[in-house]
Amino acid sequence: MWDGGVGVGGPMSLSFDSTVLLNHGIRMPVLGLGVFQTPPGRATLDAVLAAFDAGYRLIDTARIYGNEADVGEAIRASDLSRDEIFVTTKLWNTDHGYDEALRAFETSRRRMGLDHVDLYLIHWPVQGARLESWKALTRLLKEGRCRAIGVSNYMVHHLDELVGAADVVPAVNQIEVSPFLQPRAAIARSKDLGIQVEAYSPLTKARRLRDATLRAVAGHVGRSPAHVLLRWGLQKGFVVIPKSARPERIRENAAVFDFELSVEDMALLDGLDEGLHTGWNPEAAP
C-alpha cells in the first residue's frame, strides 16, 4: 500500500529522478547504492562509477566501511557535478562526544576530498555520549558543512530522548527494513516527527531471496525477488539503499521504476515480517 513518500506523487510517478524533501530543506534521491562490505580500492571505485552510470545519485558509505576515500575518488572521476550527487557518511561508535564527533567528521570529509557532506548520520545510538555528538552534528549543519544530519539504528526510545533534548530534529533515520523486518513503532515515530526513514539491508543481505511468497509475487509481476523487495520499500515511502559490488547487479537493481506492486501484492509482502535482523538489533541498545 502506498503510504506517501514526501515529494513523490504516487507509485507510478517514481523514477530515478524521484526525491524526498527532507525536513532540513534539501532533496534526497529515493534509491541509492550502499557500499558496506564493498572492498576498498578498485572494487568501491568501480561499484560507485557503475552506479553513477546506471543513474544512481545517492551513495551510502561510513567511516567504518573503510572506503570513504574511494567514494570520493569516484565522485571526482565521474562526469557528474558535485551538486548532482548525494553522499552520506556516518559517525562511528568510537568517535562519540562533542569534540570527537567534530574531529571525526572533518577526518571523513577530508578523506573523501569533499567540501561538504550531504548527510552525516550517527551510525549507532551509543549510550552516554550520543546527545553530545548530536550537538556537534547540529553545529556542522548550522555551519553548512553538512546539508542534512540524521541518525541510524534509532528506535522509539532513542528518538524520544533526542527530540526531548535537542533543538534540531534529525532529517533521516536509517534503519534495517524489509518485508521480513518491519520495525513498525520506529517507522511510525520517525514519520510523526517528520523524519525520513531510510531502509538499509533492503535485500535482507540476500538471505530471503528464495522465500516462497516473495518468489510468488516476483513471478506474478515478472520481476526478480530483489526487484520486488526494493519496490516494496519504495512504495512504502522509504529511501532504499541496496548494496552490490557487482556492476551487473548494480544495473539490475536499478530496474525498479517501470513496474508496480498492487495493493494485494503489498499486503502479501507486509505479511512476511519475522523480525529478521541480518546485522545488529538496536531495540536492545539502552
Ligand X SMILES: NC(=O)c1ccc[n+]([C@@H]2O[C@H](COP(=O)([O-])OP(=O)(O)OC[C@H]3O[C@@H](n4cnc5c(N)ncnc54)[C@H](OP(=O)(O)O)[C@@H]3O)[C@@H](O)[C@H]2O)c1
Least Å distance between CB 197 and ligand X?
Answer: 12
Nearer to ligand X (CB atom), residue 36 or residue 259 = 36
Q: Is 200 in the site for ligand X (CB under 6 A)?
A: yes
Respond yes or no: is residue 200 known to be catalytic.
no
- Across 150-162, b (16+ Cβ under 10 Å) vs e yields bbbbbbebbbebb
Q: Is 36 in the site for ligand X (CB under 6 A)?
A: yes
Find the binding residues for ligand X in span 137-156 (CB under 6 A). Answer: 152-153
Q: Is 252 in the site for ligand X (CB under 6 A)?
A: yes
What gap in Å lies between CA 96 and CA 75, rounded to an integer? Answer: 28
Least Å distance between CB 163 and ligand X?
Answer: 20
Binding-site size for ligand X (CB under 6 A) equals: 27
**Phi/psi of residue 171, nearest 5 degrees:** -85, -30
| Residue among 64, 190, 181, 171 at smallest CA distance from 126 | 64
Which one among 101, 244, 256, 261 touches ligand X, defined by CB under 6 A?
244
Burial category of 64 from C-beta neighbours within 10 Å (exposed 0-12, middle 13-18, buried 19 and up): middle
Q: Is 67 in the site for ligand X (CB under 6 A)?
A: no
What gap in Å lies between CA 11 and CA 50, rounded to an integer? Answer: 26
Q: Is 112 in the site for ligand X (CB under 6 A)?
A: no
Which one among 101, 204, 234, 254 touches ligand X, defined by CB under 6 A?
204
What gap in Å lies between CA 248 and CA 284, rounded to an integer? Answer: 37
Virtual CA dihedral for 53, 207, 199, 255, nearest 10 degrees? 30
Contact positions vs ligand X (CB under 6 A)? 34-36, 60, 123, 152-153, 174, 200-206, 209, 226, 241-246, 249, 252-253, 279
Residues that are catalytic? 65
